[in-house]
Amino acid sequence: MQLTIELTPRQAARVLNQALRARAQLQIEPRNLPEGELLRGGLVGREGDLLLVELSDDPHALPVTVLIGAYCEIQMVLSGELYAFSTYVLDVTKTRSRTQSLMAVPEVIEVANRRRFERTAATVASQVRIWTATRQVPAVGLLANVSADGLACNIPGTELDADLALGDGLRVSFEIAGFDEIFELPAILCNKSLSPDGQQLALGMQFHVSPDDPVAQHTLQRIRAVLLKLTADPAEMDGEP
């Protein structure tokens, strides 16, 4: 079973920007077409509050103008995660070589979250900042996953590699998709590895919270509460038996 997490406006904007850079492929379900009829297209641009989508499919046996004004359910995959949003079509143009539509920028974007998993992730949406003993300016990357004990993240480039050894102390701040909070904790580096193309550093770390640090203890409790909420049964969250 899959549940969905509604991203905060900041996280949704980040996902949309990434989708534009990646020219994400969209699965489009217009509500005014027969149930189950899906269209596909690529996100190719943005004009203010409008998204430009190049359709690779046309409605079967119908003029493309039937899409104008249609509400649509959209799904797209970024970095292996499924995102969904609703929008509507404002215009459609067709030439010999392509069909393009203008869609409203969505107000809400959701990310799928599989139920009862200890770890949760929304890699495009959730940003991570890392301070080392030798760097006053944080390195910025994206969350890969987070648990009650630690997290993994991906940092673009290789500059941080020379500054870090296993067992080093770090300070990390991060977001969790769907929650408008920044969590900051001390941590210990447990593993690191370069991506096959050498363009990205993957880091794994364990939170290292002293019993004498009440602020960090409170932050850790809050993280555990958030993760519990994300992985709870919907009936339990609603107070049902």
Task: Give the fold, CATH level 3, of 127-237.
Answer: Thrombin, subunit H (2.40.10)
pLDDT digits (tens, 9 = 90+) for 48-85: 999 999 998 777 667 888 899 999 999 999 877 889 99
pLDDT of residue 117: 40
Would you say the CATH fold of 127-237 matches that of 2-114? no
pLDDT of residue 136: 81
Residue segments in the chain with a per-residue pLDDT below the cut of 50? 1, 115-119, 233-241
Task: Give the fold, CATH level 3, of 2-114.
Answer: Pnp Oxidase; Chain A (2.30.110)
pLDDT of residue 152: 92
pLDDT digits (tens, 9 = 90+) for 10-21: 889 989 998 999
Task: Sort 135 into a burial class: Cβ within 10 Å, 0-12 / 13-18 / 19+.
Answer: middle
Residue 26 to residue 22: CA distance in whole angstroms = 12
> 0.75 cut: is pTM over it?
no
Q: Can you give the residue ranges of every domain in the chain?
A: 2-114, 127-237
Tell me the helices (H) and strands (E) count for the chain, helix number first.
3, 14
pLDDT of residue 2: 55
Q: Say which residues have a Cβ less than 8 Å from residue 26's Cβ, sequence separation at least 6.
A: 40, 41, 42, 43, 53, 74, 75, 76
